[in-house]
Structure formats: structure tokens, C-alpha cells
Structure 1
Amino acid sequence: MFATIQKWGNSQAVRLPKGVLEEVAMRENDRVEIRVENGSIIISRANKKHKTIEERLAGYNGDYRSAEWDTGSPRGKEVW
């Protein structure tokens, strides 16, 4: 099967036929990973699922303290 790279906004796109997506059990709006291997473009299903709040906080030990930082003096027309 062949396809053509076409302009899509400021990017380029290749349309994937429905039959190809059905063969790999993918559908519209599925999240994918795009990488380059040995000069080829590889598109595969993204294995990362959304983490729960519990999973996100699992490694947190409570010692983080936010602080202010100095961004330097004004250089243009910043509003004070």
C-alpha cells in the first residue's frame, strides 16, 4: 500500500486507511507514539495510561517547599 505526504496546516500528514487501523485494532482518537528507528517512521499505540492521583502521589514524601525566584530586573515595558 502507498500513501502521499500532504500539507495539513503547518504540518504534514499521511492518511491511514480504515482497514490498516482495523488490522492493528486502533481507531480514531487513539493516542500513538511516533519515533524514528533506522531511518523509518514507527507509529505504535501509546502504552502510557493516565495515572490516578494516588499513582501520581505515590513517590511524594512531603519534603517539597515552593519558593520564589528572582527573574532579574525589567528589560522592556513590563507592567509593575
Structure 2
Amino acid sequence: MARVIVDVMLKPEILDAQGQAIARALPRLGFSGVSSVRQGKRFEVEIEGPADEAALDEVRKMAETLLANTVIEDFTVTVADE
């Protein structure tokens, strides 16, 4: 069994309202020196068998179909360190 990580982030040209709200709140909470924040999603997918190229292709298809809105989001697929 292997664990594959799918990280999903808004594309750079898409306004990240939630990230901006977090960035504005940080100074009020005593955190300084943060110029910007971008918020995203992380999925951990456990697959049967090894995380070979065929399995990673299948996870990429999952990300394109369900996990990410590829019109406004980019995603990366990586194998988790065990």
C-alpha cells in the first residue's frame, strides 16, 4: 500500500480571497512579516500496490476529474515518504 499526496492550489492569476483574509488577520494576531498567503487543499490517497507510474497516472486522473477544478486550480501529485 502506498500513500499519494495531491496538493491543489488556485492558479496564480486567480484571486485568493480566503488567503487575503488570512494575511490581513495575521498582524492582528501578533504575526508580522507575512506579505501574502495563498490557501489550498491537500488530499492523501492510499492506493493498493506500489506507487508506480500507472498508479500515479490514475491519481492524476482522479485529481483532474474530481479533486481539482482545473479551470482555476493547479495540482501536484507526489508519493508520500513512509
Do these two structures clear the TM 0.5 threshold for a shared fold by scoring above it?
Answer: no
Query: What TM-score comes out, normalization by structure 2 length?
Result: 0.20
Task: Give the structure with the higher percent helix.
Answer: 2
Task: Give the structure with the higher percent strand.
Answer: 2
